[in-house]
Structure 1
Amino acid sequence: MIRSAGFLIIDKENCEILLIKNKAGHWDFPKGHVEKGEKKEEAALRELTEETGIKPEEIQPLDLHYKLEYYIKSGKKRVDLQVAFMKKREIELSPEHSEYKWVKLDEVERYIKFKEQREILRLVRESLKPLC
């Protein structure tokens, strides 16, 4: 199984989520492969910093965790995602991404290609209703 981990970064004040556009032209969340010997939490933080320049001390992780499982050409893939709040809005994108965007939680699903990710976003929106 291919393992990946990442964060759903939320600007609580504006009720927006951070999306980054990958080389394939799809909007996505900051995430990436879990390396051998690495815990999913470590991988998520590493990928967040590599892809966006966001440092661990700049986020406030919440106790909201989601798991996606789906099949790709090379086999089954599992993505572990955690929700975190952040106030910083300026991002330092990695060269593997072309742009970033803050999108209202109630509009974000139209940017996401894959239905599994859209379902996660629906659950996140429901969970965060009392908070933003």
Structure 2
Amino acid sequence: MKDKKSNTLKRVAAAGGVVVDTLDKDSDPKVLLIHRRGVWDLPKGKLEEGESIEECAIREVSEEVGLKTDPTVVSPLIETYHEYERSNTRYGKTTHWYLMKLNSNNYEFVPQKEEGIEKVEWVPLEKAKGKVGYDNLREVLEEL
């Protein structure tokens, strides 16, 4: 008997943030990267029922890097799209990205272990573009 795969694509909405240490146009910003399952990534996650896309981005960044005070959205960036398969189901995920800043210099990052996040690190923007593990994340960083 053949293993039947669904041809249906389930749509997933997600949001994330590019947190920068400075908004000064004359300096090279550092961006906040997370290390998850062996890959450098940006904090992001799926939209929960009842929340806006922007609220999702703020919540996901706060949760994944362990902030006690939510970051502030400075402006929207771009949307990215990718498809993946899990348990014989195809998903099409659109992620809405926002430029963010922290509201305080008094913070301590606590990686969200339940999500497989091992490290949280400030990385200079140009270095981050080469360090992230997915092409669509490079596109997001190019928007800065």
TM range (shorter): 0.7 to 0.9
Distance 1:114 1:66 in 2: 15
1:127 is matched with none
Q: Match of 1:18, SS?
A: strand
1:2 is matched with 12
1:65-76 matches, cutoff 5 A: 65-73=77-85, 74-76=90-92
The CA deviation at 1:30 is 1.3
CA RMSD of aligned residues (A): 1.8
TM-score normalised to structure 2 length: 0.75
Aligned letter for 1:103? Answer: V
Per-residue displacement from partner, 1:74-103 (whole Å, max 9, x unpaired)? 221100110012253631211131111111
After superposing on structure 2, the runs of 4+ consecutive aligned residues of structure 1 that deviate more than 4 Å are: none
Contact 2:42–2:137 under 8 Å retained in 1: no
Partner of 2:7: none
Say which SS state the counterpart of residue 84 (structure 1) adopts: strand
Q: Which runs of 5+ in 2 are unaligned?
A: 1-10
Query: Which runs of 5 or more residues in structure 1 are unaligned?
Result: 125-132
Q: Which has the higher helix share?
A: 1
* Matched residue count: 121
* Letter aligned with residue 44 of structure 1: A
- In structure 1, distance between residues paired with 2:53 and 2:76: 14
What is the Cα deviation at residue 32 of structure 1?
0.7
Distance in 1, Cα, partners of 2:81 & 2:128: 20
Please name the residue that 1:26 is paired with.
Answer: 39
**What CA distance in whole angstroms lies between the structure 1 residues aligned with 2:20 and 2:30?**
6
- Within a 5 Å distance, the mapping from 1:33-112 to structure 2 comes to 33-54=46-67, 55-56=69-70, 59-73=71-85, 74-86=90-102, 88=105, 90-95=108-113, 96-112=116-132
Letter in 2 for 1:85: K
Larger Rg: 2
